Chain A
Amino acid sequence: MPFAGVDIGSTMTKAVIVDGYGIIVASVIGPTGAEHRHLALAVMDETIKKAKLRFEQLDFIVATGYGRINVPFADKQITEITCHARSIRTLFPTARILIDIGGQDSKGIKLDAEGKVMNFVMNDKCAAGTGRFLEVIAETLGIKLNEMGELSLKAKDYVRISNTCTVFAEHEVTTKLTEGATIPEIVAGLHEAFASRVVNMVRSLGIEKDVVVTGGGAMNVGLIKAVEEKVGFPVLVPPEPLLTGALGAAFMGMDLLARGVTSERERRLEGVTFFK
């Protein structure tokens, strides 16, 4: 009994197939492009192949993420807040706060003891505190986004970045460089500024143990360290932090089927391979 979840995020599109026990059978992560529909199909197709399944064997497909309406083959669309919370409930039953740091937004979700969503906050208005902030400045510094975490751990101290705005911080960083600051110190400073912005946003929810961090930001060890310094205790990170939304979507499909909701859609293979 396989279930699929597709998460079209602002930067990455993710697909997960789980079996009837909720174990991940296959997953695919690809960049989000302008053509959401094409992308959703391509990523789903690849995941099905990896799982050695046929499209019509999928019991339920749930789409989530900001591009979820562009998944025409999904049985249901569910918000990413619900899907994230759903997978975290299974992965970390003790979680009360979830911080998801995405490519172009970041959100904080408060969960009750049963893992239900009590409240959430979100920033998608300003690039500061989203992956975009680090992406822009990595380019200015001539380093790779995925190197920033390790790089920042080499710094003994961090350089304080006083600008919140990404555009202004970009300028501040080049000034700091000319003043003799090292790249690791600057990157550590960027993580500090980033963590402070995200944690301050989540503070309005009331920070409680345990805190889970997901999204692309959770793959940055330096950022995780900075978040831990801000919240004052260690945080939890899932092994596949990019997949929590898609995984939650697949779990939601499982839950729906368990409640007797079945897919009414006729699975048509050509729908998937149409663009290939």
Chain B
Amino acid sequence: MSDDQEYYAGVDIGSAFIKAVLINQKQIIAYGILSSRGSYNETAKRVLDQALSKGRLSLDKLSGIVVTGVGAESAPFQARQFSEISCQAAGCRFLFPSARIVIDIGGQFTRAIKLTAQGRVANFLMSEKCATGSGRFLQVIARILRIKIEDIGPLSLKSQKPVEFSTNCAVFAESETISRIAEGARTEDILAGVHRALAAKVAMLVKRLKMEHDVVLTGGGAEDAGLVLSVSEALGVEVLVPEQPRLTAALGAAMLAREQRPGTR
């Protein structure tokens, strides 16, 4: 391995998962991801170590680190901080130069970002007040249905008749789900109903930003094929999904770390 190579890391300390991505001047080298249980800084260190060992690198080989996410403050290493919005935008414009709207459906928040033709952040909106607009809604319902998060997507795609919830509140939807189960509603129809309710909230955010093509969906929510379908239906376009939708903000953070080093591009 030649020593003139420069390496950069981006670490995204999110409410549900901590992610790290390593890049060099040209490409993505390795990544790490762990669930955010326990202390943020310990897990963040483990995630970065995970990525470093996959990339056969060590911390001292890194020319720069950028950290982002709700837990960015507690990063256990020397790093510059950038907002999730900037990192998400940077990651998505690298993967999809045509992206104008980025929707990030995370464990706790949903963010919608509008990008200019140059890929700069023009505006953004967050849904952070209500669980119905976030992945939490799905988690709450999945728990009642005793379904694993990763099974939600494939199962919901079998739905023939999505349940229509009479409420927009995750807590009330939880009790409504119980009565629907008692009435004999099928699990897939309930899940598809949750997807529709969530997608409707997401579409409201996008509408306020003014819809434009292309739309990229990221975050854990983008790993749920049923939700991707519902968001596409709600927006009336086929949304683009990165190969690793949870990693885009960490990737963007690494990109920003690289940009911070003058003369390295």
Q: What is A's interface to B at a CB cutoff of 8 Å?
A: 34, 104, 125-127, 132-133, 136, 163-168
Contact = CB atoms under 8 A, between A and B. Distances in A.
Interface string B72-116: 000000000000000000000000000000000000100000000
B149 to A, nearest CB: 16
Contact of A136 (B130, B167, B171): B171
- The A interface, classified by DSSP as helix, strand, loop or mixed, is loop
A125 B182 contact: no
Given A34-B179, A168-B108, A168-B136, A132 B171 contact: yes
A34 B171 contact: no
B168 A167 contact: no
B182 A167 contact: no
A132 B167 CA distance: 14
B171 A167 contact: yes
A127 B172 contact: yes
B182 A126 contact: no
B108 A127 contact: no
Nearest to A104: B172
A166 B170 CA distance: 9
Contacts of A132: 171-172
Contacts, number: 37
Contacts of A166: 131, 169-171
Interface in B163-182: 167-172, 179, 182
Contacts of B136: 167-168
Contact of B168 (A104, A125, A163): A125
22 contacts: A125-B167, A126-B130, A126-B169, A126-B172, A127-B169, A127-B171, A127-B172, A132-B171, A132-B172, A164-B129, A164-B130, A165-B129, A166-B131, A166-B170, A166-B171, A167-B131, A167-B136, A167-B137, A167-B170, A167-B171, A168-B131, A168-B136
A125 B182 CA distance: 22
Nearest to B139: A167
Contact of A165 (B131, B167, B182): B131
